[in-house]
Structure 1
């Protein structure tokens, strides 16, 4: 059936039809419906239906599309395990008082007027030393979001600052998986790759730093009511979680695990267990509370009856502590599965290959090559939801083109980072986008305009490519092995 259809070369307009559907449903749904978080699932599933119908018309069997989806999910299964384990980590760190300790210290040390730039710098440092944007956002990022709530600061701006800092460190750290994979994909030296990224990372970092430093925080932060709110939060944390030095042990264990290069799930699980043991041994919580915090997150009914009423009346405290748990990530998994149904159909029909090859054919010079790499990177990322897989595919497909245009491999590795790595948290249906939105409690579409560092990378990458024929700044030629 349809044997002739399956052998025909797919027209480009048909290949992009599922992506066009995704974009139209997502934008139209946001403007004309009130689906909220369900819009992402609806948009992806409808796009998957369109891709499936295209496959059926071309004689592709359902089993082939299903297998492609399963294979892609298998590729990201380790990442899914990390996603689930961080949900448990947040619940356990809340029960032990680790995250409340960070908030308690932040109230004492950070001026409310500098909460945004403080969030940006703190996340940058954490991610630079750990090489993990997820670890940075899932630990210090959660605490900073709680601090922003207390200080009456904008949560979308704070989330954008956290994500910007987290991805700056992730991009520039030799410990980062994405940085290493990008270098490997382009067959570039790791440290040469990091040095070459300075051309796009440094100006993006400086612009973000200045903007986050000058953005005014809600004027209510200076009011007597706001001061009373922060004092009430400090008192509540002291009364409930008994801040102490030992609450820093779980994050220290995470850092040890990263430096020792233990598997991420192992490090996160050990830190979670340590936090639960500390909560049961040194905090007024039971073993049952520990299990429930790990599975469902922290809840106010875990507190002694004498504290529950005061805690419930403090809205900022409730927003800070009632979160986390393994099951908090289940909704994210539904979106991931839907995304892989779309990706499987796109791959099985050959639509993905048609799109990438069309982009390569349009390459005329340095600018169009870099632009094509960026677009291909974000296209693959949107369909695979896996930065590593996307990076490796782009590196393999584009390396001959960079050599043909006399461009060193570090240009390709940087272009991969500036598309795949930096735009990953800005797509609502990717694993990273879902993780950031779920962990920080802010919808992707809300924090996207404030993820300044992530937006700056692709823009500066295009700028240096556009100026390549005039100045050569920021572009390394293959025959000239020193920076232009």
Structure 2
């Protein structure tokens, strides 16, 4: 167990190291290593055996395996989809179908619908986000606001869809059914959704692209690629695999294999060109807008995620934070608004330190449930966790979830977060709803 001073020092060094690395444009893994080293030192001085510390670190790393797989496969899927002609074909199709005047609104609505169907932000951003980002680049719409629309839509389903693993984790951690959780989330979902839709509609109506001509954009890449309806199959295969509840990484692998096969047949891509594109990214002399990153660009992020997993392993194994929770929540006289505010701060703090979405959800739900049950329905805690711990992780630049999202859309989280109102409107809406619930009673529960 850490003392208050040791815990404070660990948190301070972790956040300071990450912030310094970010400000100095160094690898975030370097900054995070200082916090991890500090935690290991304090745990060791507290009497933990080195072997046990290493074991807990390894268990934590193993929990990040799926995230590492996805991040690595994202580094491969984007260049393979591009080299096979899939992304160029989808962009040219989009130029004939999408009205640029309402591009942001369309992107948000489409992303929200797909995410509710798939239940995953990663799958949504990969299947519809990548081509829409390419289309926005050609339409000269600022990429940060497009990324904000796509990420906002992706988290509608990531948080709300019954098929979402994050949604089910919230339900299991707070002891409510998925059906009851959906009912509890409905008011703030509607509130944040209306705010977000209005934000992007207003942006579209006032954007310079609203009056732009699209005639000259009818076809951009047809001279460099052989087009066929079969070029859509890698994306369709990814969507189907997620709908059929395959593991996400298996869906990516199937899609990559399909793209490689199609690229051989239609574009004549050689094995050397495939390997070069997958490792270094796709590069074209003809089309500057199709340049992508490859697997080599993901190594730094994979190291960071591994270190974050080791950090979480130590926190969970040694139950570092549990004893401080009751103090954080205050006494039994705390109002729902106060409890909501404190729980949100707790989730934010965990997201800043742990670099995950899972740990804040689990600890906020399971550890705070006994306190909440003394005064409020479980459904209210579930709502607060979903509107704070789940969502706030997506706004922290060094959080695994934010890193994966930013990597897929090609825009760092700090650039798009101001244009992702669904993320920051939900914590505000849940505070307002908790205040209203206090005033009107448990009929809102």
Query: How much does 1:463 deviate?
Result: 1.4
The CA distance in 2 between the partners of 1:380 and 1:23, in whole Å, is 11
Query: How much does 1:156 deviate?
Result: 1.2
Query: Which residue number in structure 2 is paired with residue 94 of structure 1?
Result: 82
2:188 aligned to 200, 215, 218, which one?
200
Matched position secondary structure for 2:3: coil
Does residue 3 of structure 2 align to residue 10 of structure 1? yes
Matched position secondary structure for 1:469: helix
The CA distance in 1 between the partners of 2:273 and 2:20, in whole Å, is 43
Does residue 108 of structure 2 align to residue 139 of structure 1? no
Query: How much does 1:262 deviate?
Result: 1.5
2:335 aligned to 365, 373, 394, which one?
365
Does residue 73 of structure 2 align to residue 73 of structure 1? no
Query: Which residue number in structure 1 is paired with residue 208 of structure 2?
Result: 219
Query: Which residue number in structure 2 is paired with residue 247 of structure 1?
Result: 231
1:428 aligned to 397, 414, 433, which one?
397
1:326-475 correspondence to structure 2 within 5 Å: 326-344=295-313, 346=315, 351-361=320-330, 364-405=334-375, 407-472=376-441
The CA distance in 1 between the partners of 2:15 and 2:297, in whole Å, is 27
Does residue 275 of structure 2 align to residue 291 of structure 1? yes
Unaligned runs of 5+ in 1: 1-5, 301-307, 312-316
The CA distance in 1 between the partners of 2:227 and 2:328, in whole Å, is 56
Query: How much does 1:279 deviate?
Result: 1.1
Q: Deviations over 1:249-308 (max 9, x none)?
A: 1222122212221122212211111111111112232233333333433222xxxxxxx3
Matched position secondary structure for 2:224: helix
The CA distance in 2 between the partners of 1:330 and 1:354, in whole Å, is 36
Runs of 4+ displaced beyond 6 Å = none
The CA distance in 2 between the partners of 1:161 and 1:131, in whole Å, is 17
Compared CA separation, residues 353 and 16, structure 1 to 2 (3 A): farther
- Which deviates more, 334-343 or 87-96? 334-343
Q: Deviations over 1:422-466 (max 9, x none)?
A: 122211222211111222221221111122101111111111112
Matched position secondary structure for 2:440: coil
Query: Which residue number in structure 2 is paired with residue 153 of structure 1?
Result: 141
How large is the RMSD of aligned CA atoms in angstroms? Answer: 2.7
Query: Which residue number in structure 2 is paired with residue 281 of structure 1?
Result: 265
The CA distance in 2 between the partners of 1:350 and 1:187, in whole Å, is 21
The CA distance in 1 between the partners of 2:331 and 2:78, in whole Å, is 46
Q: Deviations over 1:161-199 (max 9, x none)?
A: 110000012222211111112111112111221122111
Contact 1:10 1:354 in 2 (8 A): no
1:171-210 correspondence to structure 2 within 5 Å: 171-210=159-198
Q: Deviations over 1:207-233 (max 9, x none)?
A: 111111112566377567xx58x62xx
The CA distance in 2 between the partners of 1:391 and 1:223, in whole Å, is 44
Contact 2:278 2:295 in 1 (8 A): yes
Unaligned runs of 5+ in 2: none
- Which deviates more, 109-118 or 56-65? 56-65
Query: How much does 1:159 deviate?
Result: 1.0
Contact 1:208 1:452 in 2 (8 A): yes
Compared CA separation, residues 80 and 131, structure 1 to 2 (3 A): same
